[in-house]
Amino acid sequence: MSRRGPALDLELARRVRGWMPPRRELTRWVSAALGRRRAGALALAVVGPGESRRLNARYRGQDRPTNVLSFPAPPALRGARALGDLIICPRVLEREARAQAKPRRAHWAHLVVHGTLHLLGYDHVRGADARRMERREVRVLRTLGFADPYQAPDGP
């Protein structure tokens, strides 16, 4: 008999066409990143490069589209289960996956886990924090059956 914890509420907003993983996989990846804290509400928006660029410029001062943006919920809402928002741009994600010779699905999983960890307070601005975050990402992705995203794939 399996014991299920509190549910994760994943709100999905798809604003562009194209391939993306099924909701059940996205939910599984977020839950794995959350670890023991498997409950909460998270909004995931899948956007085009224009919207990604606008958000990245406005909130990070970088005038270019990016793969994933994370917006943690304000502290007042966290008690109400809100974790925050993830914004993923598949066009950037797919370009990176090709350039890095990684499977698209694996890169999606990595960015969902990476973004979720940001919602939990992980960061990679300082070296020690980056190493801590990367170790957690690698562990979570390994439990999901994915390779270390920071290792270069074996070449021919």
> Per DSSP, which regions of the chain are E strands?
8-14, 40-46, 68-72, 82-88
CATH superfamily ID and name for 8-143: Metalloproteases ("zincins"), catalytic domain (3.40.390.30)
* pLDDT attached to residue 70: 97
* pLDDT attached to residue 39: 78
How far is the C-alpha of 51 from the C-alpha of 55, rounded, in Å? 6
Look-up: residue for tokens 């439990």?
143
Low-confidence ranges of the chain (pLDDT < 70): 1-6, 38, 78-80, 153-156
Write phi, then psi, for 8 (nearest 5 degrees): -95, 130
How far is the C-alpha of 146 from the C-alpha of 151, rounded, in Å? 12
Report the amino acid identity of residue 127: G
* pLDDT attached to residue 78: 63
Taking only the tens place, the pLDDT of each residue in 50-68 is: 999 999 999 999 999 999 9
Domain positions in the chain are 8-143
The model's pTM: 0.91
* pLDDT attached to residue 53: 98
